Amino acid sequence: MTEEHVQQEIVIWFNNNYCLKSQNPRGLIFSVPNDTKNFMELKRKKNTGLLSGVSDLIVILPNAKVLFIEVKFGSNKQQQNQIEFQKRIEELNHNYYVVYSLEYFKTIIWQNLQ
């Protein structure tokens, strides 16, 4: 398993449980693709708002809470730019989580929906 697999599990589970068309209001989850190897593309993306260290996922819950989710796997740790982004998010009184599993993500969602 990889971070990508954990992130896929999270997105699928959340979409199936909180984003169905029959639910009102519907939750929202999306990824922030913030990496590239191409220098010109990186420069263009930075000029249009790319921010290094942004969390992998943003979750907007029906109760107006916004969660920032950084997905990790195994012994992987946050990079310095991710730690700095977390600090900024928390200074703005938003919730930031480092998630290593679908089960932990589920717990976070249930806690934030109460």
CATH of region 3-112: 3.40.1350.10
| pLDDT (tens digit per residue) in 53-112 | 899 999 999 888 999 999 999 999 999 999 999 999 999 999 999 999 999 999 999 999
2-22 average pLDDT score: 93
Secondary structure class of 109 (helix, strand, coil) = helix
Ramachandran quadrant class, 60 (left: phi over 0; alpha: psi -120 to 50; beta: rest) = beta
Question: By the 8 A CB rule, do 101 and 74 touch?
Answer: no
Domains of the chain, residue spans: 3-112
- 47 pLDDT exceeds 70? no
Q: Would you place residue 1 in the very low, low, confident or very high pLDDT band (cuts 50, 70, 90)?
A: confident
Question: By the 8 A CB rule, do 50 and 34 touch?
Answer: yes
pLDDT on residue 67: 98
- 6 pLDDT exceeds 90? yes
Question: By the 8 A CB rule, do 100 and 72 touch?
Answer: yes
| C-alpha–C-alpha distance, residues 64 and 8, integer Å | 23
